[in-house]
Structure 1
């Protein structure tokens, strides 16, 4: 009888220890999940956006468009409400049908920027390998030219990432710097693109 009692105590202790280990494991997993910040979530999506652009996978790229608002594309740091704002389905249709869209106006000449989507991407979005950007930041500007940067006035409550190159050819003394800014908005517990802003030195 004494031996049976000892065995029962051992079994109970083992079960109790297993329960405590399970609880500790669950607590650690919960704490780990709690450490994922808003910044982490946005930066993760931003990297996925850049990977899709680098791979020229435009179907995947549009999967990050804000479902209700689409994305506004600005060729320069100053955001104008006349700049092209487009939903994901229309973006893909424009690629498929080779539509020429008006995106804004060329710096200097003031002429309308009329381009198909792929040439626009090559010139005003992924014009450099921003996945390997020289500098990166969150909610802070790196590139600073002579045009007005009104991102925080247009999107005062939203968060953004910036990817920056200080220049590509020494003979330009940094005047060929280039930045890409991605602006995000939360929708049904996920972050989506609402603006893609290219910036550079303007005349």
Structure 2
């Protein structure tokens, strides 16, 4: 599982991420305001699964499907799912954002993806936009991205600059992405940038709608 967070393992195989627990409530407040009351949501790169369980529990009208290419992550998601027994939380998919063969047919009402674009090769973001443009319900299907981004009009925070350096030292294909480059890629797949939300710890939520 690709993460820079300090992950701890619980006896039942679930993984616990301090960062996921810390940012879940702030992210949830934005998602609640923009997701439909009822519908289907696919989560890409779900990691430990703590966002999936928290959001599915908080929004019972949404049918939530987590996913991750890592077997370790999927085992953790399954363990959290078993603990909470939520009727609207589906088993995790073995989905690789860069591999179209692993994506379901759709359509879905929304896609949520946190902290993937910078901890993966650019091809993963390309795959995400390509497939989101295909599987999101039109018009109005929502793509929500969470994480740190570079912005031409905003000075990069020192903590984000150091984080970017650490990512590139770990893998030359990783690193903070330029927000407008991501938005341009989205536009090329029929997804219009509709909202930028400033989040704690120099993170952003970027919302895109299928047009």
**Greater RCO, CA 8 A, separation 6+:** 1
Would you say same fold, with TM above 0.5? no
Larger radius of gyration: 1
Q: TM-score, normalised by structure 1?
A: 0.26
TM-score relative to the length of structure 2? 0.25
